[in-house]
């Protein structure tokens, strides 16, 4: 039985931007995209596999035009929560943003993810991002802003909090996603519900109504990583890094989040650039097999399970225990950065593969806390968050 609950469809590799840190080499010149027929077939397979959330990603999914409206409508009617990621180049005015987003909200869109940082704003005015966020708030759409930063960045989480402060302070329905999850955890504890999904059935109609009015937002900073996509840090740019053993280096969405590329190939995570070409993380192709078959096969793969249950940090610590002379760096910027070393460093990869089965056996016996949580239907279309722990 697979544990995937989130599938990102890389709907198109075309993008009006050409960011230097892009994971997928997207640009205005690339034309590869999914057809509407493909999108519907993949949505059918995702729903049949019992998965609850899709992320329409790219490239820039707004370039799909009416096909985007159609697939949001189709997926919503199949019972999927639809997340949509964009750089907001289309939000040239508040009116334009409202017109475009209203068509999607009418078809069921509840969650918008906007990329905004120094890399993206080389191509898109910051005002377009603000137009998109203002329109989302007016339409009651939850939002999340991804901010890739270095020590030299002008656009940071704090900068965006200041820019959007007035808008958010003036709207009592929008609360930070963390606050929403704290409320839900408190209620779950009070009512003895072990998961958010079970909590829903224990809420009174008044609680459901009050929670249903809330909308979440998050401004999520992520350090730029110079082995990610085409990104190269300048000499004077630095970002935080973490010692092996720090829990940040265990953050990994392998298997719980999977990615489908425009050719139908299914990748085991949404992470770093090496994951796109790594054979162990290539799970199959939706053009030749159904998603359930692909995911059930991957559920028996020790490499995937070590990533899912432990994360790269746990793998690195185990390797250092088994192979004391192992040449790992002491510090890494992200779990995907460390993961890249595990998979691509010629002196580390063979040892990783040699010991994966042993680590798999060790992790299999341990307690596995589900790392993520489904959206809570009827209450919110919240971003995935860690499961309740108390």
Tokens of residue 343, six digits: 């998979």
Site for ligand SF4 in 62-91 (CB under 6 A): 87
Q: Does 113 bind ligand SF4 (CB under 6 A)?
A: no
From its phi and psi, is residue 81 left (phi > 0), alpha (psi between -120 and 50) or beta? beta
- Our CB check for ligand SF4 shows the closer of 17 and 211 to be 17
29 - beta bridge partners?
Answer: none
**Angle ∠(83,86,90) on CA atoms, nearest 5:** 125
Which of the stretches 46-54, 68-76, 246-254, 370-378 binds ligand SF4 when contact is defined by CB under 6 A?
246-254
User: Is residue 112 a contact residue for ligand SF4 (CB under 6 A)?
Assistant: no
User: Among residues 98, 103, 39, 35, which one has the least CA distance to residue 69?
Assistant: 103
111 vs 324: CA distance, rounded Å: 46
Q: What are phi and psi of 146, to 5 degrees?
A: -95, 125
3-state secondary structure of 109: coil
What mask, x for binding ligand SF4 by CB under 6 A, covers residues 202 to 241?
Answer: ----------------------------------------
φ and ψ of 85, to 5 deg: -115, 140
Sole binder of ligand SF4 in the list 45, 128, 253, 301 (CB under 6 A): 253
Query: How many amino acids of this chain bind ligand SF4 (CB under 6 A)?
Result: 24
Work out whether strand 174-176 and strand 215-223 pair parallel, antiparallel, or are unpaired: parallel
Binding flag, residue 312, ligand SF4 (CB under 6 A)? yes
Which of 272, 305, 333, 371 is in the footprint of ligand SF4 by CB under 6 A? Answer: 272
Dist CA 74 CA 132 (whole Å): 23
Q: Which is nearer to ligand SF4, 17 or 139 (CB)?
A: 17
For ligand SF4, the binding residue among 252, 266, 283, 383 (CB under 6 A) is: 252
Q: If binding is defined by CB under 6 A, does position 384 make contact with ligand SF4?
A: no
Q: Which is nearer to ligand SF4, 115 or 131 (CB)?
A: 115
90 vs 104: CA distance, rounded Å: 14
- In a 3-state reduction of DSSP, which class is residue 84? strand
Q: Residue 55, interface with ligand SF4 (CB under 6 A)?
A: no
Residue among 8, 17, 141, 193 that touches ligand SF4 (CB under 6 A): 17
Distance, in Å, from the CA atom of 184 to the CA atom of 199, rounded to the nearest integer, reads 8
Residue 305 near residue 356 (C-beta atoms within 8 A): no
Closest CB 319 distance from ligand SF4, rounded Å: 15
Q: Which of 128, 335, 373, 380 lies at the binding interface for ligand SF4 (CB under 6 A)? A: 335
Nearer to ligand SF4, 25 or 237 (CB): 25
Asked whether the beta carbons of 145 and 221 are under 8 A apart, the reply is no
* Residue 222: CB minimum distance to ligand SF4, A: 12
The angle formed by the CA atoms of residues 376, 378 and 379, to the nearest 5 degrees, is: 60
> What CA–CA distance (Å, rounded) separates 123 from 27?
12
Q: Which of 39, 42, 43, 58 binds ligand SF4 (CB under 6 A)?
A: 58
Q: CA 141, 143, 149 angle in degrees (round to 5)?
A: 165
The structure tokens listed for 113 are: 């993810």
Of all residues in this chain, which one has the CB nearest to ligand SF4 in the complex? Answer: 271
284 and 212 Cβ atoms separated by less than 8 Å: no
Name the residue nearer to ligand SF4 (CB basis): 298 or 307. Answer: 307
Applying the rule CB under 6 A, the residues between 158 and 177 that interact with ligand SF4 are none
Supply the minimum distance, in Å, between the C-beta of residue 191 and ligand SF4: 33
Q: In 3-state terms, what secondary structure has residue 175?
A: strand
The token pair at 252 is 């990994």
Confirm or reject binding of residue 250 to ligand SF4 (CB under 6 A). no
Region near ligand SF4 per CB under 6 A, out of 57-65, 126-134, 164-172, 240-248: 57-65
CB of 18 to ligand SF4, least distance (A): 5
Scanning 19-27, 190-198, 294-302, 325-333 for contacts with ligand SF4 by CB under 6 A, the matching segment is 19-27
User: Is 269 one of the binding residues for ligand SF4 (CB under 6 A)?
Assistant: yes
Give the footprint of ligand SF4 on this chain (CB under 6 A): 15, 17-19, 22, 26, 58-60, 87, 115, 120, 252-254, 269, 271-272, 275, 307, 312, 335-336, 339
């Amino acid at each position: 039985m697979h544990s995937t609950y989130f599938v990102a469809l890389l709907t198109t590799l075309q993008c009006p931007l050409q960011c230097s840190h892009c994971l997928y080499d997207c640009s205005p010149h690339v034309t590869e995209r999914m057809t509407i027929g493909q999108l519907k077939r993949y949505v059918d397979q995702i729903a049949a596999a019992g998965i609850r959330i899709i992320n329409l990603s790219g490239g820039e999914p707004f370039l799909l035009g009416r096909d985007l409206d159609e697939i949001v409508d189709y997926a919503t009617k199949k019972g999927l929560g639809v997340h949509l990621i964009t750089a907001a180049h289309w939000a040239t005015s508040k009116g334009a943003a409202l017109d475009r987003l209203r068509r999607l909200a009418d078809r069921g869109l509840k969650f918008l993810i906007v990329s905004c940082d120094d890399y993206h704003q080389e191509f898109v005015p910051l005002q377009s991002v603000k137009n998109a966020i203002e329109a989302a708030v007016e339409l009651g759409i939850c939002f999340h802003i991804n901010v890739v930063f270095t020590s030299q960045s002008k656009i940071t989480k704090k900068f965006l909090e200041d820019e959007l402060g007035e808008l958010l302070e003036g709207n009592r329905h929008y609360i930070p996603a963390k606050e929403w999850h704290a409320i839900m955890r408190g209620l779950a504890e009070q009512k003895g519900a072990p998961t958010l999904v079970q909590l829903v059935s224990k809420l009174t109609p008044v609680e459901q109504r009050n929670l249903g009015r809330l909308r979440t937002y998050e401004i999520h900073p992520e350090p730029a990583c110079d082995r990610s996509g085409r990104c190269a840090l300048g000499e004077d740019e630095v970002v935080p890094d973490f010692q092996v053993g720090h829990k940040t280096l265990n953050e990994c969405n392998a298997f719980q989040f999977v990615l489908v590329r425009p050719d139908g190939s299914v990748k085991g995570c949404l992470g770093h650039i090496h994951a796109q070409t790594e054979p162990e993380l290539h799970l199959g192709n939706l053009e030749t097999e159904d998603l359930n078959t692909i995911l059930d096969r991957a559920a028996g793969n020790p490499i995937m399970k070590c990533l899912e249950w432990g994360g790269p940090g746990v793998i690195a610590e185990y390797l250092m225990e088994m192979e004391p002379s192992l040449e790992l760096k002491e510090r890494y910027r992200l779990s995907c950065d460390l993961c890249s070393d595990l998979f691509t460093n010629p002196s580390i990869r063979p040892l990783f593969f040699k010991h994966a089965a042993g680590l798999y056996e060790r992790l299999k016996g341990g307690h596995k806390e589900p790392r993520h949580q489904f959206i809570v239907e009827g209450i919110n279309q919240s971003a995935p968050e860690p499961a309740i722990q108390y």
